[in-house]
Structure 1
Amino acid sequence: MMINGIHITATFNEPKPFTDEWLEAVYTSVQNNMAVVSADMLVNEDESSVAFHLGIDCTLASSDTFVEDVAEDALKKAFDDADNGRVPLTVVSGPVEVFA
């Protein structure tokens, strides 16, 4: 198994109330993604952002672009899941740092 790490931040265009239930739903969704082997999450309520440090399984594809795409897809799905199908206005933004 080849694992690459990525640090990626999602910033909300409008202030987001980070409830325990919402955060748990986001974290659970990210953890359930087949390509994500580890996840840490840091909430910054002042900046209305959530930063993630993810380990991505890159056994089948090892490019940095693959890692970024998997991370962005996992986060977008997690936010969608947490908001019961209502996609929140988010910008998945840098700095995006990929490392082996």
Structure 2
Amino acid sequence: MTSLPSSRGAALLRAASLGLVAGLLLGGLVLLGRGVKGVFVPSDCAGLSDPECQLTRETERDLGRVQTLSGGALVALGAALFALTRPRPPAPPEGP
């Protein structure tokens, strides 16, 4: 097998990392949105007794907290990975 040229390998690595960043950001934003909805929007308790309604609301609130934290962590991880893999500007030329 032959190895990839340096520029093609770097471009492939950058494209793969961009896909990973996009997946982390989109997944994190969806999870963050669902978590915020679970924390702040109470569920409809039509047809449930009071203990069932209370259990459902507590479960959704606690699960929403976990989803919010996990979504925020994924967004932060995606942003950090983007900052690490973005193309660097060329160095300024040295003066005389």
TM-score normalised by L of structure 1: 0.30
TM-score normalised by L of structure 2: 0.31
Give the number of the structure whose alpha-carbon radius of gyration is greater: 2
Could you say which structure has the higher strand fraction?
A: 1
Could you say which structure has the higher helix fraction?
A: 2
Task: Select the structure with the greater relative contact order (CA < 8 A; seq sep ≥ 6).
Answer: 1
